[in-house]
A and B are shown apart, each in its own frame.
Chain A
Amino acid sequence: MLAIVALVTLPLVAALMAVVVERRGEWIALLSVIGVVIALSVLMPLVATDGPVDLVIGGWQAPLGITLRADGLALAFAGMAALVMAAVLVSARTLYGASPSEAETRGQWAFWPLALLLWGALNVAFLSRDLFNLYVALELLTVAAVALVAIEGKRESLAAALRYLMFALMGSLAYLLGAALLYAGHGTLDIGLLAARDIGDASGATGSRRASDIMAAGLMTAGLAVKTALFPFHAWLAPAHAGAPAPASAILSALVPKASFVILLRLWFEALPGLTTPALLATLGGLGAAAVFYGSVLALRQNRLKLIIAYSTVAQIGYLFLVFPLAGGDSYAQPWAAGAWTGVIFQALSHGLAKAAMFLCAGVWIIAVGNDRLSGMRGLASATPMTMSAFGIAGVALVALPPSGGFTAKYLMLTAAFASGQTIWAVVLLLGGLLSAAYLYRPLAMAFSRDDDATFAPVPRSLQVAPLLLALAAILLGLGSQAPFSLIQTGRPAAAAEGLE
């Protein structure tokens, strides 16, 4: 129980301390990373063997109080977030670290609390069972994320931050309105208690299918989709993620969309499974498929590395939404639903690790070259071999080649697609993989082409190690998939085993 408390409060306390303590933000962040890693290493085996652990805050049971629950889904994402944050904090030291003798600068002061607050908000979003508490966490996440986009103060990043803020604010409002309607209708905001009311299941004793419930579900889904940057709400993502400094981009792209996606999973699989209809599932899947193609095509057309990586996120987020049709179907018992659920979580984890690695690689190359244009990348492979291999390995995970975590994900999802007779989604998965190979080929080819005249600024080794470790973690996720696989199964909602609708 103390471990759960540590998981959600340590980053927040660290952020508060980073506000007052001058020029030592990096060390405070490091301490909190160590603390969270310890908490996770206590919690993960415990949860994997004994099942989910609840933390009833203040001792007030829902519906009056708020409960945090450490289940497999929450811990898997919290673990991924901790890995990414650790790597990012190491990489950000060159940009925002300060020696205690120098005067404090704006970036050195602002980056650490913002990154830590974002992390704290993420952990709350993964663990909380209360829809309104999740709203507050999402707002904290949004404010910190937008600030990180704007932190360089360039006109492009300010414009990107504003666009992001406008989208995110509307998303928050839609989500809040939905949560308010659910509370008004059912007198609780707790996901478990909502599930117990069988909302939408008119056949049950307590169930009903009310206009306000359908509206609430639609509004919350739309709001969360905006925050996850699902096509067609993706317009804010690429400029925002590409406009931020590399460590911030890594957090933004790898972690931030995952928070709203986890809430979306919990909403449909745990709280309101009775409200799904085949048309809704197909729509969400269709938007996901559109995102895969549209994001990939846009990634193919970019001439800047960070934009390629950012548009790739649009495409990769599309895969996540395939869980809805894949876990659906029309027969009774659906053995594939659990596979689809697990596969999508693997996809999210693998994408998080690989994408963070790629943005950190881009950061290394920006230091070496001075910008992130593809044309400037000639000869980088021989100049920065370690970073090059990190990028390549991350690419393997992104394209979902074996033995990466991405491959495990695609394998599970493909199996689900074929088993449920929904071949169309299998086609999306396969074509998407080809497209991602295509858009990653261009920077790779450019980096491997020889250019003997090119001179690069030296890059500290510590900066190059972090992305490599992250990329290796993405591979390890596939090689040692047994442990995460069983962790994800703990506390898996019933709908993820029996299928939606």
Chain B
Amino acid sequence: MKSTIKTKTLVLAVIASLVTLTMTGSAANAIGTLKQDALTGTSATVDTAATDAAIRKLVNGRTIKLGFAPPILSEAYTIAQQGAWNQMKDYETRYGVKWVWTEEAPLNNAHSGVETTGFIQNYVAKKYDAVFVCSAAPATVMQQLYKQGSAKGVEFYQFNSTEQLNQKSQATDATAGLSSVSNISYDNRWQSGALAAQYIADELKGKGEIIMILGPAGSDWTKLREQGFRAVVKKYPGLKIVGAADGGYVRDKGLTAAADLLTKYPKINAIYGENEDMALGASAAIDAARLKHWDGKSGIITIGADGLVSGMDEIRKGNLTATVNVGYADMGRTMIRTMFAHKVLGMDVAKFIRVPTVIVDKTNVDIFQSQIKAELATKVKY
């Protein structure tokens, strides 16, 4: 009796530290490939055998039904899903958790995202334990649904969503109106847009002309990344945003938009694409205009955001100068960890968990690409 309480507290202690790790996002965590995952206990210092046994006892072979509802099927979400699966696999082997995983995604107009509401209602009807949601639908709508769902005992975890909850009350209390257990994401302003701008500023020594290829007007992601980007650019009187165009988050439109802007401003020093696809389109436009890519001293900097395998390849080739890696695999893992900590171990988790993001360029591409590749290499599937 006593011992069990002891082990429990011990376990809690361990996990608490880990979850805080996750939330603050240490390097170790960021490079969370299979072997280095802390919860799986291959730590040199701590022996977690006892913990594992205790958790296994607590789990007691139960099945947890998880729903996964991204706004659209795309590489980013596939990586996130794989990360989640890998984490689930770990837990299965260590604690004997059994999993049911169902993905629901609309095949079109990801930007209105109303379809997701239907998916969620179905997860609730099917009495799932927890659902991971990312939707472009009005935040108020989603929060409403989470409230109704939670009342029926389903836990909701938002991922990769903006922190704008579109609630008046949020002005006074940041987390007010968040009806999901937690919001596992990153700050699109300061962890994405701003980083990109900062990188450009540093490379260009604070002097130069920039054009922006934006996502579809009206999307929250677009809005926020642009905010962050502009905010940093303001700090450098030498930097100037000369033009902007809509690239609709797709490569071809990005190419066309960049090509148009390049004819008008052939002298620019940097292109910011709000996602990697558009940035790569822009990079193609640079080639087409027979202009020079950035070589560290001269040429045009092209920077995107996402952190996809394809993007990193282009960084190696020098077609893409840099990208903001938001660590989708890590996001996936964190989703599972957080859910497990809260749902199974009954821990309290932060309302806003920010996964670490990082600028990836030639200098550090190996680290992060190998990480993603490792995650994708596991043939784990649920």
A binds B: no
A residues apposed to B, CB below 8 Å: none
B residues apposed to A, CB below 8 Å: none
